Amino acid sequence: MTVLHTVLSTYAETHRVLARRRDELETDLIRALDDGDSALTDSLHEALGTASAMVWINTEAHFLLVFAQFESLVTELAATAIETGRRHPDAAARRAWQVLYDRARQSVQALPFLDRMALLLDKGDSAYQAIRDIYQKRNHVAHGSPLSEMIDVMELAEQLQAIAARLQEPR
């Protein structure tokens, strides 16, 4: 998660600017409604819609960027796990890891993301469940569906960093 700090700094700044503009437009719209200025009201209502959409798009874009950093780490750790497993002293375990190695020979990324996660965490683990849920949201956004509720990108980053730290602990 090497560029995460930069991604989060960029998100915080763009979110602050966009949210402030949206709030200013809301204030202006209320004044225009109070003044009965229908032409200005229509214009401000449209601008407010655009500003609100920009806040959502910014959040979704940075959500994807933050998750991509985590996914990159998972890929790296899964590759290490496969390579380590291929040297397992137990022949049966070693053969299973060899099968995974053969499947991933072109690229560990050829393995589905949740399979890479399952190499690192038990599927029953609460961290695995959390990642699965986040990954489902990531897929919705990445494939063009908007989020149904706003995500706190900073909170998400903290959650992913905690799980990343756990994945990197010696075993």
118 burial via Cβ count (<10 Å: 0-12, 13-18, 19+) = middle
DSSP conformational letter for 148:
S
Per-residue model confidence (pLDDT) at position 1: 66
Q: For 144, left (φ over 0), alpha (ψ -120 to 50), or beta?
A: left
At 103 the pLDDT is 78
What the block records as the tokens of 42 is 């229509």
The per-residue pLDDT for range 120-152, each reduced to its tens digit, is 999 999 999 999 999 999 999 999 998 889 999
pLDDT (mean) for 80-107: 85
Name which residue leads in pLDDT, 105 or 161. Answer: 161
Mean pLDDT computed over 55-73:
96
Helix ranges (H only) for the chain are 4-35, 38-85, 91-103, 113-120, 126-142, 153-167
pLDDT digits (tens, 9 = 90+) for 13-53: 999 999 999 999 999 999 999 999 999 999 999 999 999 99
Q: What region does 154 belong to: left with phi over 0, alpha with psi -120 to 50, or beta?
A: alpha
Q: Given pLDDT bands bounded at 50, 70 and 90, which one contains residue 156?
A: very high
